[in-house]
Amino acid sequence: MIKFKNKLEKNSQEIDRFLDTYLPSGNGLNSKLFEAMRYSSISGGKKIRAYLVLESGRFISAVNNKTLSKSKYNELIAVGSAIEAIHSYSLIHDDLPAMDNSPIRRGKAANHIKFDHHTAILAGDGLLSWAFQIIGDRNFISSSEKRSEICFILAKAIGPKGMVGGQQADMDYAKHKSIDLGQIEWIQNHKTGALISCCSHVASVLLNASDEQKSNLINYANHIGLAFQIADDLLDLVGNEFSMGKPIRQDIKNETPNFVTILGKEKAIKKALEESSKAINLIQKFKQESESLVSLAKYTVNRNK
């Protein structure tokens, strides 16, 4: 796990470097927006999504007996950074008073607390637009076919039938006590899962994975996405605020049903471990080891260790 955490940390620094270099900066009438976009995306979070993009790409290279070239590596970092910008945008908007009304994120004041409400809305909008500028930029991804395919896949994953749709359902239904396990799973697969599976999907596109490779990797990501969310719900119950970087016991306080409140603690732990195992099994179908992807699947259910 120490080796894994070092790799995760190294990747996180690489993504921060990309964001720091290419996110807009400087003075001007809109400089507060630049500052707010940087505040919520650089040096915050573990950049697990970008790590998944990179390691999926590295894995496909190895499976196909290729070395990951420097230029492909750079493409994976650019796409991973765009996806992290999108993840940051979604957190900024989720934390707004009209949504989860959360004052703390990643161990510091939420964007709308540090700046103000209009800046937080616009910083989210700005990060979302900026991500597509990176995806469409020939300087970051050489093939126009891949640029446009990733634009399509990513937009679909985060749109009304993906991430944003999941957040809408979460807002409209999550407090209904009558919500069942299937509906919770639907919400989480959209709200959190869609962007996570997108990471393996876009890496498959960048590295020309076969259809079978792509489909196994996307399923792997689906399982870790679910394991990740169940672990999040468990951490909301048993984690501590300092290591989580956000308030805990929110779901209980707000009477929000989640995997743990519906299944109970023991069954939720069991389900998280099962999802993680299913993910690992999918990787082991390939005739190629991937310590990184196996460690990531284990890590999703063991984040407080």
Q: Does 19 bind its own copies (CB under 8 A)?
A: no
Residues from 187 through 216 that contact its own copies (CB under 8 A): 187, 190
HEC string of the chain equals CHHHHHHHHHHHHHHHHHHHHHCCCCCCCCHHHHHHHHHHHCCCCCCHHHHHHHHHHHHHHHHCCCCCCHHHHHHHHHHHHHHHHHHHHHHHHHHCCCCCCCCEECCEECHHHHCCHHHHHHHHHHHHHHHHHHHCCCCCCCCHHHHHHHHHHHHHHHCCCCHHHHHHHHHHHCCCCCCCHHHHHHHHHHHHHHHHHHHHHHHHHHCCCCHHHHHHHHHHHHHHHHHHHHHHHHHHHHCCHHHHCCCCCHHHHCCCCCHHHHHCHHHHHHHHHHHHHHHHHHHHCCCCCCHHHHHHHHHHCCCCC
Compute CA 4 distance to the chain's CA centroid, rounded to the nearest angstrom. 18
Of residues 2, 21, 27, 145, which one binds its own copies by CB under 8 A? 145
Q: Does 6 bind its own copies (CB under 8 A)?
A: no
Q: Binding residues for its own copies, how many (CB under 8 A)?
A: 61
Q: Does 175 contact its own copies by CB under 8 A? A: no
Contacts of 177 (CB under 8 A, 6+ apart): 255, 257
Rounded (10°) CA dihedral 15, 229, 231, 250? 100
From the list 56-64, 147-155, 201-209, 229-237, the region that binds its own copies by CB under 8 A is: 147-155
Residue 254 engages its own copies in binding (rule: CB under 8 A): no
- What mask of x and - would describe binding to its own copies in positions 34 to 73, judged by CB under 8 A? x--x------------------------------------
Residues numbered 229-248 forming contacts with its own copies, rule: CB under 8 A: none
Shortest distance in whole angstroms from residue 81 CB to its own copies: 14
Stretch that binds its own copies, among 166-174, 220-228, 267-275, 297-305 (CB under 8 A): 166-174
Give the shortest CB-286-to-its own copies separation in angstroms. Answer: 29
Residue 269 binds its own copies (CB under 8 A) = no
Report the residue from 96, 237, 273, 294 that binds its own copies according to the rule CB under 8 A: 96
Which of 5, 66, 161, 270: binder of its own copies (CB under 8 A)? 161
Four-CA torsion 82, 197, 276, 94, nearest 10 degrees: 60
Residue span binding its own copies (CB under 8 A) among the ranges 59-67, 70-78, 170-178, 231-239: 170-178
Residues 108-137 that bind its own copies (CB under 8 A): 116-119, 121-122, 124-126, 128-133, 135-137
- By beta-carbon proximity to its own copies, the closer residue of 169 and 297 is 169
Q: Is 262 in the site for its own copies (CB under 8 A)?
A: no
Contact between 185 and its own copies (CB under 8 A)?
Answer: no
The site for its own copies (CB under 8 A) is made up of: 24, 28-30, 32-34, 37, 93, 96, 98-99, 116-119, 121-122, 124-126, 128-133, 135-138, 144-145, 147-156, 158-162, 164-169, 171-173, 183, 186-187, 190
